[in-house]
């Protein structure tokens, strides 16, 4: 459309044209949904990422246009954005022969929901490479005590639970320590070994409460002489670049991480597994009844 013809448009029409130009020029994909989840606008990048022409998408529900988006998490986040009138941001991996990671931002509108998303697969691959490198380094400098976990290196299996998982709040931290103390006593731990495990479990639980607003803690045993404590939260996790300092530097902490006291945790127990990311953190610690034998020189 020429500049002269644009000048003859009403102000509202001109604004609409400019907005459309911006949406079509963006490198981010964009779709707009009505209150029935039907796609009422799709820009060129969204159509390209979906592998469909715009006319194949418009008028269909987002679930019909992109069947792989019908996941519990995506639907939950979209519904939360509309119900709470708040923006949501999250990452999601679309399944397929070549899985694609996307970063999604959704904003409620009077008509429904506006969704921006971008392909972050390359970024996630770089992060995974950095994490693999860090996993090897952290395992080396801690003599195998710290295991950094991800999709390729899972957390250890849960042992036999002692009671139900405990919601972690400032008022239940003592309850978790009491459970750990009882498990260590029943397993025949020495006072020193029990104290190390109790202290480490308390630090992990405290970090979940302080930095993530709470979480869940559980205590389990195996073979009568190994006690496992698992602490899970849904905070923002530890950024990849902060992992070395957060895990190895005494007293290191940044908002949203579990850094404080983690070095002490490593010194107090036999094994530590750490899985952390933007959706939360899980720490698993284990202590055996007897101290591990020193490595042969």
The answer to whether residues 172 and 94 belong to one domain is: no
Helices (H), the chain: 3-7, 11-25, 44-50, 54-57, 62-65, 72-84, 121-141, 173-186, 191-212, 243-248, 262-268
The answer to whether residues 82 and 172 belong to one domain is: no
Percentage of the chain with pLDDT > 90? 52
The answer to whether residues 110 and 181 belong to one domain is: no
CATH number at residue 17: 3.30.450.20
Domain that holds residue 212: 125-288
Side-chain-side CA neighbours of residue 236 (13 Å):
11
The answer to whether residues 236 and 100 belong to one domain is: no
What mean pLDDT is reported for the chain? 85
231 pLDDT exceeds 80?
Answer: yes
CA distance 211 to 259: 9
Residue 72 has a pLDDT of: 84
- Single out the residue in 79, 103, 119 at which a domain terminates: 119
Residue 123 has a pLDDT of: 92
CATH number at residue 256: 3.30.565.10
134 pLDDT exceeds 50?
Answer: yes
Residue 70 has a pLDDT of: 80
Q: Is residue 278 part of a domain?
A: yes
Return the higher-pLDDT residue of 192 and 132.
192
Q: Is residue 294 part of a domain?
A: no
N residues, the chain: 297
Instruction: Determine contact, residues 77/88, Cβ cutoff 8 Å.
Output: yes
The answer to whether residues 80 and 131 belong to one domain is: no
The answer to whether residues 114 and 187 belong to one domain is: no
Residue 1 has a pLDDT of: 40
Residue 6 has a pLDDT of: 43
Residue 119 has a pLDDT of: 94
Q: Is residue 296 part of a domain?
A: no
For 166-196, write each residue's pLDDT tens digit. 999 999 999 999 999 999 999 999 999 999 9
Span 68-84, mean pLDDT?
90
The answer to whether residues 276 and 165 belong to one domain is: yes
For 255-269, write each residue's pLDDT tens digit. 444 545 788 899 999
7 pLDDT exceeds 60?
Answer: no
Q: Is residue 111 part of a domain?
A: yes
Q: Is residue 293 part of a domain?
A: no
Q: Is residue 194 part of a domain?
A: yes
The answer to whether residues 131 and 94 belong to one domain is: no
The answer to whether residues 82 and 63 belong to one domain is: yes
The answer to whether residues 175 and 266 belong to one domain is: yes
Residue 73 has a pLDDT of: 87
How many Cβ atoms sit within 10 Å of the Cβ of residue 267? 13
- Single out the residue in 69, 87, 119 at which a domain terminates: 119
For 9-62, write each residue's pLDDT tens digit. 555 556 556 666 667 767 899 999 999 999 999 999 999 988 899 999 999 999
Q: Is residue 297 part of a domain?
A: no
- Single out the residue in 97, 119, 141 at which a domain terminates: 119
Look at the chain and report how many structural domains it folds into: 2
pLDDT band with cut points at 50, 70 and 90 for residue 295: low
Instruction: Determine contact, residues 285/201, Cβ cutoff 8 Å.
Output: yes
The answer to whether residues 145 and 251 belong to one domain is: yes
For 196-226, write each residue's pLDDT tens digit. 999 999 999 999 999 889 999 999 998 879 9
68 pLDDT exceeds 90?
Answer: no
Residue 158 has a pLDDT of: 85
Q: Is residue 254 part of a domain?
A: yes
For 141-164, write each residue's pLDDT tens digit. 888 899 988 766 688 988 888 888
């Amino acid at each position: 459309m020429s500049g002269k013809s644009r000048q003859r448009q009403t102000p509202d029409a001109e604004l609409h044209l400019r907005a459309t130009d911006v949406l079509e020029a963006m490198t981010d994909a964009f779709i707009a949904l009505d209150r029935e989840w039907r796609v009422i606008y799709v820009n060129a990048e969204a159509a390209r990422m979906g592998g469909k022409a715009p006319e194949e998408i418009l008028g269909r529900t987002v679930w019909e246009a992109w069947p792989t988006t019908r996941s519990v998490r995506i639907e939950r986040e979209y519904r939360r954005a509309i119900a709470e009138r708040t923006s949501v941001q999250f990452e999601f991996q679309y399944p397929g022969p070549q899985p694609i990671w996307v970063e999604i931002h959704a904003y409620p509108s009077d008509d429904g929901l506006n969704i921006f998303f971008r392909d972050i697969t390359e970024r996630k691959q770089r992060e995974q490479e950095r994490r693999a490198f860090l996993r090897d380094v952290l395992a080396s400098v801690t003599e195998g005590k710290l295991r950094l976990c991800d999709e390729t290196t899972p957390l250890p299996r849960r042992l036999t639970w002692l009671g139900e998982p405990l919601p972690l709040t400032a008022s239940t931290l003592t309850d978790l320590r009491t459970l750990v103390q009882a498990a260590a006593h029943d397993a025949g731990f020495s006072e020193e070994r029990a104290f190390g495990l109790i202290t480490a479990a308390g630090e992990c639980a405290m970090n979940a409460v302080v930095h993530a607003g709470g979480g869940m803690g559980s205590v389990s045993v195996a073979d009568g002489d190994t006690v496992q404590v698992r602490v899970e939260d849904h905070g923002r996790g530890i950024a990849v670049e902060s992992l070395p300092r957060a895990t190895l530097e005494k007293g290191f902490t940044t908002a949203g991480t579990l850094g404080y006291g983690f070095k002490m945790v490593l010194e107090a127990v036999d094994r530590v597994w750490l899985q952390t990311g933007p959706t939360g953190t899980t720490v698993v610690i284990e202590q055996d009844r007897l101290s591990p034998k020193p490595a042969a020189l």
